[in-house]
A and B are shown apart, each in its own frame.
Chain A
Amino acid sequence: MKLTRQQRELGTKFWIYLAALVVSVICVFPFYNAILTSLRTGQDLFLTSYLPTTFHWENYVSALGENGVGRSLLNSFLVATIAVGICLLVSITAAFALARVRFRGRKYILFTILCVSMFPQVAVLSGMFELVRFLGLYDSIGSLILSYTTFSLPFTVWVLTTFMRSLPVELEEAAIVDGASLWVIITKIFAPIMGPSLVTTGLLAFIGAWNEFMFALTFIISNENRTVPVAIGMLQGTSQYELPWGHIMAASVVVTIPIIVLVLIFQKRIVSGLTAGAVKG
C-alpha cells in the first residue's frame, strides 16, 4: 500500500513525539524514583511498584532532625550565599575594569583568569588544605566560604565581563559628559542594567557552591558544620549492608527541590549565561 504524503508526515511526527516521550521518561524517572522511595518505609521500600503507594513523611522528619540534614541545609545556604555575595561585589568592579578600561597587562590578566577555570580542583586541594589549617579555619564553614569564593570568582568575572562588553558604550559616554564619576557610573548606570546578568551569574555560582562536594568533604569533619552533599554521602557511608534508603532519598529530594525550582524559573537566562561563559568551561 502506498502512503500519501500526508500519511508519511503524520508517521514522522509520531516517531518524533514517541522519541521525545521516551527521553522524557528517562530524564524524569531517576528523580521520580527518589521521591517515591523517600515516601516509603519498612518493607514497602523494596516494592517494585512505580506508583505512589504510601505517603510516609517520617523519612523527611528523621532525615532533617536526627540525621542533622536540617542543620546541613542551613550551612549550605549560608556558605553559598556568603560566597556568592562576595563574588558578585568583587567581580562587578573587576568586570568593569576588564571590559571598559584600557590598561597595560589586561590581556595577561584575562588569560590568567581564563586558565584558572580549566584546572582540576584536585590540583589545589592539598595546598588549600594547608592554608585552611594555617588560618585556623579547619572544620568551620569559613574554610568553605574561602574556597568557594576563590573558585567562583574567575567564573563570575568572566561571565560579567562578557555581558558588560555587550552593552553600548554610549551609555557611559553620556554619563561622563554629564560629569558623573566612575563610582556613579558603576552604581547608577551599570548596576541597574546588569541586574539580570548579576542574577544569572549569581545563580550559577550559587548552584556550584550548593552542590560542591570535594572541598566540603575535605575541610569539614564534624556533623554540625557539614553541607548537604557531604551529609548525604555520610548517610551512605554509615553502614555497608542496611543503607537507610528512605532517609538518603528524603535528603536528596530536599537538597534538590530548591535548585530545580530556581533553574526552571531562570532557565533561559542560565543557558545564555552558560553560553557566554562557555569557552572558559
Chain B
Amino acid sequence: MDLTAQRMTAAPESGAGTEAKPRLGDRIDAWLPKIVLAPTFVCALVFIYGYILWTAVLSLTPSRMLPKYEFAGLAQFEALFANERWWLALKNLALFGGTFVLVCLAVGLLLAILLDQKIRGEGLIRSIYLYPMALSFIVTGTAWKWILNPELGIERLLHDGGFENARFDWLIDPEMAIYTVVVAAVWQSSGFVMALFLAGLRGIDDSIIKAAQVDGASMPTIYRRIIIPSLRPVFFSSFMILTHIAVKSFDLVMALTNGGPGFSSDVPATFMYSFAFTRNQIGLGAASAMMMLMIVVAVIVPFMYSELRRPRHG
C-alpha cells in the first residue's frame, strides 16, 4: 500500500524525506505518533471494521426485529438468494453500475477533450459542467423526477409541441426505470470525471505531442495513440470512484424512483435498507450488506492489484 502513497507524491520529495527522517525521528519520542494517530485508528478500527464484523455476525443469526445471537449458519444467505427481489436488485446493480461507469468515463473524457481545444470562456464552461457534483443526490433526484415525469416534463413538452403520440415514460416503465437513475447519475458525476481527465490532459508533456505533429501524425491519431493511453492512471482513479458511487447509490434511487414502480428499480442498498429497517429482517439485511461488501471487494481488489503491479513509470 505504500506504493499507492508513493505514486501520489513526486519522486524527489520522497527521496529527501527518507534522508531526513532519522534526524527528525531522534527528536520525537517513539510513542508520540501513536497517541496522535490513536483517534483516527480507533475510529477506523473499532467503528468501521468493528461494525462490519458485527454485521457479518448478524448475517449468521436468525435475527428479525432485534439482534438475536444464535448461530444459524448460512440460512440468511440461502433466504437471500431465494428472494426474487434480491436477484432483481443485483441485476439492476449490474445494469446501472455498468452503464453508469462506462457512460461517465466516455462523457467525461469527451468533455475534457472538448474543453482542451483552447476555446474561449473555458473557465465559465468548466464551472457549468462541474457544478452538478456539488448537488445532493436527493436534489438531483428531485429535479430529474420532474423532468422525467410524463405529466410534467419532457413528454408533456413534446405533446404541447404537437407530437401528440410522443412517449417518454421511463420513470413509470418497470423495464426502463433503472435507466432514469443512470441518466441522473451520469448528469451529476460526468463533470467531476471531466475535471479529473482535464487535469490529466494538462499534465501531458507538450513536447511529445509536438514531436508527433512534426512526424506528421493527425490529431485523432495523436489522441488515440499518445494522449488517451497516457491517461491510464486517470481511468484507474475514475473507475474506482465511479464503481464506489454505483455500489453505494441509495439516495438517488430513493429520491428518483423510490425503488419503483413496484420493486423494479431496487438496488442492493435500498433492498438492505428496506429489509433491515422497515421490514424487521435484520439478519437478512445484514446478509445483503455482506454481499455488497463482497461485490466491492471483488471488483476493486483485482483491479487495484493489477494496476499497482504495473511499473510505476511505464
Using a CB–CB distance below 8 Å, which chain A residues touch chain B? 13, 16-17, 19-20, 23-24, 26-31, 33-34, 37, 46, 48, 90-91, 93-94, 96-98, 100-103, 106-107, 109-114, 116, 118-131, 149-151, 153-154, 157, 161-162, 165-166, 168-170, 172-173, 176, 182, 207, 210-211, 213-214, 217-218, 228-229, 232-233, 236, 245, 248-249, 252, 255-256, 259-260, 262-264, 267, 271-272, 274-276, 278-279, 281
Contact = CB atoms under 8 A, between A and B. Distances in A.
Contacts of B67: 130
Nearest to B2: A107
A103 B289 contact: no
Contacts of A123: 51-52, 55, 289-290, 292-293
Q: Is the interface of B mostly helix, strand, loop or mixed?
A: helix
Given A113-B40, A260-B134, A173 B45 contact: no
A94 B39 CA distance: 8
B8 A125 contact: no
Which of A13, A23, A262, A267 has the most chain B CB within a 10 Å cutoff? Answer: A23
Contacts of A173: 20, 23-24
B51 A124 contact: yes
A276 B241 CA distance: 13
Which of B45, B114, B128 has the most chain A CB within a 10 Å cutoff? Answer: B128
Interface string B130-150: 111111111110111011000
Given A27-B132, A271-B196, 4 more contacts: A98-B37, A127-B55, A153-B40, A217-B254
A34 B195 CA distance: 25
A116 B286 contact: no
B146 A260 contact: no
A218 to B, nearest CB: 6
Nearest to A29: B147
Contact of B40 (A26, A103, A157, A259): A157
B143 A97 contact: no
B34 interface: yes
Nearest to A146: B47
A37 B144 CA distance: 13
Interface in B52-75: 52, 54-55, 58, 67
Contact of B139 (A19, A131, A255, A281): A255
A16 B289 contact: no
A137 to B, nearest CB: 13
Given A125-B289, A126-B54, A34 B143 contact: yes
8 contacts: A101-B28, A101-B32, A113-B41, A157-B40, A166-B13, A172-B20, A176-B27, A233-B254
Contacts of A13: 119
Nearest to B145: A236
B4 A149 contact: no
B50 interface: yes
Contacts of A30: 140, 143-144, 147, 187
B222 interface: no
A275 B3 CA distance: 17
Contacts of B196: 271, 274-275, 278
Contact of A165 (B13, B125, B134, B146): B13
Contacts of B33: 97, 101, 103, 106
Contacts of A121: 248
Contacts of B170: none
Nearest to A172: B24
A20 B276 CA distance: 45
A256 B146 contact: no
Contacts of A168: 13, 16
Given A110-B2, A126-B54, A24 B125 contact: yes
A130 B300 CA distance: 29
A271 B142 contact: no
B36 A125 contact: no
A120 B1 CA distance: 20
Contacts of A263: 130-131, 133-134
A169 B14 CA distance: 9
B138 A229 contact: yes
Instruction: Pick the 7 closest A-B CB pairs, nearest first.
Output: A127-B51, A211-B136, A97-B33, A278-B237, A213-B251, A30-B143, A111-B1
Contacts of A97: 32-33, 36-37
A13 B119 CA distance: 8
A102 B26 CA distance: 10
Which of B115, B126, B248 has the most chain A CB within a 10 Å cutoff? Answer: B248
Contacts of A98: 37
B160 A233 contact: no
Contacts of A214: 250-251, 269, 273
